[in-house]
Amino acid sequence: MTQIMLFNSKDDQNIENTDKERSPDHLPFNQNFIFQLAEIINLRYNNPHEGSYVNDLRKSGLNKIAQKVGEEAVETVIAALNDTEQEFIGETADLIFHLLVLLREKNVSLQMVTDKLLQRHHEYQK
Ligand SMILES: N=c1c2ncn([C@@H]3O[C@H](COP(=O)(O)OP(=O)(O)OP(=O)(O)O)[C@@H](O)[C@H]3O)c2ncn1[C@@H]1O[C@H](COP(=O)(O)O)[C@@H](O)[C@H]1O
């Protein structure tokens, strides 16, 4: 059974801490949730059930999922240029969610992407 750890609101107060004081396994809830969401999507793939939007996407296949990511990316750009901050945030959330589904469809984990970003970060330090 996969265990999903949720942090209580007390941890959210750590947002004021400096970067040095934060450890990767003690991130505020909002920062960790993207990994938890990736795990929820993984669980839906492994245990598909009716009424699940992730399952609907999975059944539609790679082309449809990739198309959704493209649509959400365009909607995010339009919102950035024309809409309110809240609408921009909403479109960005749609984009990130569908991108996470695309990663799962391609069997690429979010960790593999963050490893790539970390590798680049280290290269920039040289
Ligand atoms: N974060 C999301 C999330 N964001 C957006 N959506 C869905 O994504 C869809 C957005 O599509 P659009 O806005 O493009 O609307 P649409 O035109 O009707 O979509 P299409 O018909 O074109 O596919 C809506 O149906 C939303 O409900 C999401 N559906 C699920 N999640 C997360 O995924 C988890 C698992 O969801 P289920 O698989 O449904 O259990 C949930 O607990 C949530 O945390």
User: How many domains does the chain contain in total?
Assistant: 1
Cβ of residue 113 lying under 6 Å from some atom of ligand 1: no
As a whole number of angstroms, the distance between CA 18 and CA 72 comes to: 33
In which domain, by residue range, is 121 found? 61-126
Strands (E), 3-43: none
Is the CB of 75 inside a 6 Å radius of any atom of ligand 1? no
Alpha helices in the chain (DSSP H): 9-12, 29-46, 53-60, 62-82, 85-105, 110-125
Tokens at 51, concatenated: 């009424």
pLDDT tens digits, one per residue of 47-106 = 999 999 999 999 999 999 999 999 999 999 999 999 999 999 999 999 999 999 999 999
Instruction: Compute the residue count for the chain.
Output: 126
49: three-class secondary structure by DSSP? coil
Ligand 1 centroid vs 113 CA: distance in angstroms? 22
The verdict on residue 121 lying in a domain is yes
CATH number at residue 119: 1.10.287.1080
Residue 21 phi, psi (nearest 5): -75, -15
Look at residue 37 and tell me if it is in a domain: no
In a domain, 93, yes or no: yes
For residue 104 and ligand 1, the question of a CB distance below 6 A is answered with no
ipTM summary value: 0.91
